[in-house]
Structure 1
Amino acid sequence: MPDLIAPTHPEPVRPLRFGIVLLPNFTLTAFSGFVDLLRLASDDGDMSRPVRCTWTLVAESLVPIRASCGIQVTPWVTFDEAGAFDYLVVVGGLLHSGPSASDATLRFIRATAATSATIVGICTGAFALARAGIMQDYRICVSWFHYWDFVERFPDIPEASLIADRLFVIDRRRITCSGGRASIDVAAAILLRHFDASIVQKAQRILIVDDAQRGSAPQPYPPGLDPASHPKVRRAILVMEQHIGNPLALPELARRVDTSVRQLERLFFAETGKSPNVYGRQMRLRMAAWMLSASDRTIADIAISCGFSDASHFGREFRKTFDDSPGAYRIARSHAHEAAVVAE
């Protein structure tokens, strides 16, 4: 059965009820994207009124919950005060920075799962659903970056049930989503179950988002890296990205991911077919190519920003990869963009 079905639906006799649980250090983008699509689809008059659907922030207490970016959001009602929901949405975020879902939160998830409600895990919210014990015999979508974290934490869940190369998975009364911008897509998929497609499409246009991506759309991850790659390699790549303007020496990179230089090199060759140094250089060149196309910064500035000693060094390395100088590459991309605009 396709992930997105858009039949014609009559207006519901009552609003569709969403309960939202924010976990400590939740991802703000995942939360806001989901709620904003609900808000825009709910009200034809664009007044943000909860007409077609309602959304309620529920938690163990009314103490503000901190997002991973530092912004705090205050829940509206406690678990004891919450009414019935059609969908319970659990939004996660950072895994390794403080407490996870409390025992009270897990009990509330289990209790809601025992009703007719559909349970939705966004970002690492899927981890909380697994901890609550409600994901047996369901497929589970996890971010490629957290694949091995999930395997290590839940060894009793078969790896065959984990999906790390799709944006989201709808499996009966369980929906899991890799997070980020995909939360908008999963919100659209849910609303298309209940409302006309025109209502959902209008909300997407207001958000300046293209048509909803199907759950089968692939997750973006670093080129040459399999979704289930070794966690040491994934974390090393993240460290490389964080230090793209000042590349770390290989011994320091190995220390940051708690392994030896030899082991890190062996893992990189096994996962990417390249050494860490070659992979890092190609990453910096891809970033430089993007900056040449998307910004008006000078070539010398881009060279330094991407970790090259000077413009000459950058130019030599860039030509080896792209068979063109940085300046010629920028001009060619600019002309291609202008031609595309004219064609439209």
Structure 2
Amino acid sequence: MAHPPSAGAAALLTPPPALPAQAPELRACGLLLLDGVRLLPLAGVLEALEWASRLQVEAIYPTTLLSPSGLPVQCGALELRTEALTLGLPWHVVFVCAAEGSEASQEVLQWLREQALAGVALAGVDGGSAILAEAGLLNNERATVDGHLLEALQEDFPDVVWSGNVWEMNAQANRLSCAGGSASLDLLIAWLARSHGERLAQDLTLSLGVERPRGRDERQRRPSSDQRGGSPKLAEALSLMEANLAEPLPTEEVARLVGVSRRQLERLFKQHLDALPSRYYLELRLNRARRLLQQSSQSILQIGLSCGFSSGPHFSNAYKAHFDKTPRDERSQRAAAWRRPAGEPPSP
């Protein structure tokens, strides 16, 4: 005859109550819009934050448009409603979105300093880095800005380490900056990956329709015509380099084909790109190699040879010196990121 289970046995057979799912962390994002703000960089920030909130469960990123007065701000053909800076949310990050000629009052600059003292991360978008620099919040930090503003800012704010890269982010991820155009997408993908792992970066890349996010070491592409103070000779030299990555041309040969002396070519590169031609050429080849390591199934040796390196060790040494990891490390990290389940943080 079967006996009913005892109370103790029944307790063992009863499944434990389900634990409530942990609520996602709320990370409020303020977007400070100044006169002249451009739509494309602003849209990149908004889109990336919206998709990040959808694609992972750890945090959500609600956004609020801010302006000094709280009045609507004109952005291209759109009029955007904003809140005043007196809105007292505990911000996780504030993006300063501005363009050439944007000005900030002393009240705005002081408000930004107060956010910094409160531990809020600050990001300059398009020309927004100029505002952060004026507030004294980028001293001794690497920062970038839309390329045509670089030369003037280097003179006005010499305590900032200005670069011509697409984006910059410090080790604490609390000072960020990017150029104009779609560079805000590249910056946001990298910044969000710091919190949520490389898998989210992959998902964002697909969801946002980005062919590939540009790394921090990639320089801004200057227009080939002289609309921003560039040089036709420089544009011609860059085209030659990009067309000859597998068999790099000596600097003297590039200068000869462009029709300038080697000294003149070096002066052009230093003036507009803050690099020697040979160094810039090497970076082009290494960045192409990095894309191939991440996106193709070619062997490491094939990739090295196709990017102008004479042997496997030559490629590996140059790659490690530039990216602080070997080509094999690069490919292993990418493979591990794809294998890791969504939402799982990267291994330390």
**TM class by smaller structure:** 0.5 to 0.7
SS at match of 2:110: helix
Sort the Cα spacing of 1:210 and 1:82 in 2 relative to 1 into closer, same or farther, 3 A.
farther
Structure 1: gaps (5+ residues): 1-9, 226-231, 239-266, 273-344
SS at match of 1:91: strand
Q: Does the Cα contact within 8 Å between 1:15 and 1:50 map onto a contact in 2?
A: no
Q: Does the Cα contact within 8 Å between 1:204 and 1:211 map onto a contact in 2?
A: yes
Aligned-pair identity in percent equals 20
One-letter identity of the residue aligned with 1:162: W
Q: 1:66, 1:153 → 2: CA distance?
A: 28
One-letter identity of the residue aligned with 1:37: A
2:168 — aligned with what?
169
Within a 5 Å distance, the mapping from 1:1-344 to structure 2 comes to 13-44=24-55, 52-67=60-75, 69-75=76-82, 77-95=83-101, 100-154=103-157, 156-157=158-159, 161-164=161-164, 166-171=165-170, 172=172, 173-223=174-224, 234-235=228-229, 271=268
SS at match of 2:31: strand
List per-residue Cα deviations over 1:50-89 (Å, max 9, x = no partner). 962211112222211122x3422111x2211231111111
Sort the Cα spacing of 1:102 and 1:209 in 2 relative to 1 into closer, same or farther, 3 A.
same
Q: Does the Cα contact within 8 Å between 2:126 and 2:181 map onto a contact in 1?
A: yes
TM-score (norm 1): 0.56
SS at match of 1:185: helix
Q: 1:30, 1:192 → 2: CA distance?
A: 19
SS at match of 1:43: helix
Sort the Cα spacing of 1:59 and 1:11 in 2 relative to 1 into closer, same or farther, 3 A.
farther
Root mean square deviation of aligned Cα: 3.2
Q: Does the Cα contact within 8 Å between 2:51 and 2:204 map onto a contact in 1?
A: yes
2:283 — aligned with what?
none
Q: Does the Cα contact within 8 Å between 2:190 and 2:201 map onto a contact in 1?
A: no
One-letter identity of the residue aligned with 2:39: L
TM-score (norm 2): 0.55
Q: What is the aligned length?
A: 216
Query: Displacement of 1:23 after TM fit?
Result: 1.2
- Pick 1 or 2: higher relative contact order, CA cutoff 8 A, min separation 6: 1
Query: Displacement of 1:163 after TM fit?
Result: 0.6
SS at match of 1:58: strand
Query: Displacement of 1:143 after TM fit?
Result: 2.8
Q: 1:100, 1:50 → 2: CA distance?
A: 36
Structure 2: gaps (5+ residues): 1-20, 233-263, 270-348
One-letter identity of the residue aligned with 2:79: Q
